[in-house]
Amino acid sequence: MSDSTVMGSKVAPQARRGFKMFAATALIAVSSAVSLSAFAFPGGPGGHGHHGGGFGGPGMFMGSPERLDKGVDRMLDRVGGATDAQRQQIKVIVKAAAADLAAQRDAGRALREKSLQIFTAPTVDAAQAESVRQQMLTQHDTVSRRVLQAMLDISRVLTPEQRAKIGEGMKKRHERMMEHMKDRPKS
C-alpha cells in the first residue's frame, strides 16, 4: 500500500498529516493512561474509600508515615492474630517501598509532562512520542516490580492463614466494587 493510500482509497497529504497527528495523539494519550494507572489506585492498605485499594496496589505505599502505619494496622486488624513483630516488620517494608515509589511517581509525572510537550508542539514528532511511550512502559514496569517485591516481602512475614484472610477480604472488596460499577450509568 502506498503512502498516499489508506484502506484502498487515495488520501491527500493534508489528511495524512492529520491522521499521523491523530495517531501520535492517541499514542500519547494511551501511554499516559497506562502510566497513570499505576498510581490511580485509591484506598490504601486498608482499602478504605469507595474504590477499594487494599493489599497489593501502589496505593498501599502512598502517604505519610503515619498514614502508612495506620493502613498496615487496619489491614492486620482485619486479619486478626498479627503479632507486634509482624506489624513492625510490615511497616518497615511498606515505608521502604513508599520511599522508592515516591521517586517513581516523580519520574512518571515528568514523563507525562514530556508527552504533553510533544503533543502540544507545532509539529508532533512521532519518534519522540514513541520514545516517551517506551520510557513510560519501563517506568510502569519498575513500579510493578517494586510493588511485587514489597508484596513478596510482606508475604514472608504473614502466615498462610493470614494471607488467605487478606485474599478473602480482597475478593469481597472486588465483588462490591464490581457490583457498584454495574449500577453506574453508562456514559
Is 137 part of any domain?
yes
Domain count across the chain: 1
Confidence of residue 2 (pLDDT cuts 50, 70, 90): very low
pLDDT of 90-133, one tens digit each? 999 999 999 999 988 889 999 999 999 999 999 999 999 999 99
Q: SS3 of 6, please? A: strand
Is 5 part of any domain?
no
Is 6 part of any domain?
no
Sign of CA dihedral 12, 13, 15, 20: positive
Maximum separation of any 2 CA atoms in the chain, in Å: 72
Confidence of residue 170 (pLDDT cuts 50, 70, 90): confident
Sign of CA dihedral 155, 49, 61, 66: negative
Is 111 part of any domain?
yes
Higher per-residue pLDDT: 46 or 55: 55
Is 2 part of any domain?
no
Cell 486488624, residue located: 77
pLDDT of 132-144, one tens digit each? 999 999 999 999 9
Structural domain for 115, as ranges:
12-182
Is 7 part of any domain?
no
Residue 105: closest CA among 33, 151, 45, 39: 39
Is 61 part of any domain?
yes
Helix 126-157, helix 13-37: angle, nearest 10 = 20
Is 152 part of any domain?
yes
